Amino acid sequence: MSSALMPQPGIMEIALYEGGADKIPGVQQVIKLSSNENPYGPSPRAIEAATRSLAAMHRYPPTDHAELRQAIGDVLGLDPSRLICGAGSDEIIAFLCQAYAGPGDEVLYPEHGFLMYKISALAAGATPVAAPETARRTDVDALLAAATDRTRLVFVANPNNPTGTMVGMEELTRLAEGLPPAALLVLDGAYAEFVDGYDGGAALIDARDNVVMTRTFSKLYGLGGLRIGYGYGPKAVIDVLNRVRGPFNLSQTQQAAATAAIADTDYADYCRAETAKWRDWLAQALEAVGVPSDPSFGNFILARFADAAEAEACDRKLQENGLIVRRVAGYGLPHCLRISIGDEAACRRVAAVIAAFKAAAA
Ligand SMILES: *Cc1c(COP(=O)(O)O)cnc(C)c1O
């Protein structure tokens, strides 16, 4: 092997992202609650549109995603010319880091923030910086204190994954106003659709030139396997991101499915309502047996245990019963388990297994 072959600085510091598990050795029927997926699946209209698109797979897809951007704009009341689409919002996060951060620059995020911020910052050669949170909640003062004249990007997921907590628009406005002039605030709205009446920060974006948001079809819309996300921001920022975007980054099938999915607002409303109902039911059921969680605004809850050993023991008990949830030690939360909200049967099974686990330990 030639030692002359060297990757760019930072690349070898990247720890590979581990997706949520979907298998348990020796267990036939598992319920996967480890990736915040929609248990009801995508809109039937999205499946139909994707299927129809396949006959044209010999054709290159549209490069400008015009139809999809128009559909998103129509449903959310956003200017389509200030939208950019990507292969999941992960790709928009990567575009942002590639375009705005490089060696010597800092990319800032809260300590329990999404792992892709760190990975994308390192891939761009930039320095990731984590600011402390207060009681598992984004701390705007800590972020402002950690921002320097080298800060180029500040990522805040609202609601946050894996904590499920949220900060209000006054706080986010204060953050946008207080950042150094060379820093862009990125509001990651992967779970924004689960919050009634929340625009993901669109009004703040329209009022300023230093805020963008990322959104996804992977969570509420149930299209995680197809990879579609988007960004919304000031025209100047979207213009920059389009320069690093590959012209054919979204297939015809991705574009067709997402266009149909966002237009099916009845189906989205149904999934949102069911998720909220069973999320709140599960949180109460676990609280009642001594497993608390912060009020969650996403499609998951972060269950807290006495310590890492108890969380791991409970995870093993869940696995024995065919239930896969997410360990979040990698997010600095070794005493917690993140549980995606499944359908009624899945939530009842989780509650029963955790209740039995706690009763056996008592
Ligand atoms: C799931 C998730 C995403 C993005 O997922 P994509 O499938 O790439 O759109 C982004 N941010 C957070 C916080 C997430 O949990």
Residue 326 structural domain? 19-41+266-361
pLDDT at position 21: 81
- Name the residue type at position 104: G
Position in ligand 1 atom list of the atom nearest CA 218:
7
3-state helix/strand/coil string of 34-88: CCCCCCCCCCHHHHHHHHHHHHHCCCCCCCCCHHHHHHHHHHHCCCHHHEEEECH
Q: Probe ligand 1: pick from 111, 115, 161, max atoms within 8 Å of CB?
A: 161
Position in ligand 1 atom list of the atom nearest CA 229:
9
Q: Probe ligand 1: pick from 37, 89, 158, 194, max atoms within 8 Å of CB?
A: 89
The whole-number average pLDDT for the span 135-159 is 98
Three-class secondary structure of residue 107 per DSSP: strand
Q: Is the CB of 216 under 6 A from ligand 1?
A: yes
How many CB atoms are located within 10 Å of the residue 12 CB?
A: 9
For residues 123 and 94, the answer to whether their CB atoms sit within 8 Å is: yes
CATH code of the domain in which 109 resides: 3.40.640.10
Residues 335, 216, single domain; the answer is no
Which tokens go with 169? 């628009």
Residues 273, 149, single domain; the answer is no
Residues 190-246: tens digit of each pLDDT: 999 999 999 999 999 999 999 999 999 999 999 999 999 999 999 999 999 999 999
Residues 136, 259, single domain; the answer is yes
Place of tokens 């990567």: 94
Residues 19-54: tens digit of each pLDDT: 888 888 888 889 999 999 999 999 999 999 999 999
CA distance linking residue 38 with residue 40, whole number of Å: 5
Q: Is the CB of 222 under 6 A from ligand 1?
A: no
- What Rg value do the Cα atoms of the chain yield, rounded? 21
Residues 2-13: tens digit of each pLDDT: 678 999 888 999
Residues 164-191: tens digit of each pLDDT: 999 999 999 999 999 999 999 999 999 9
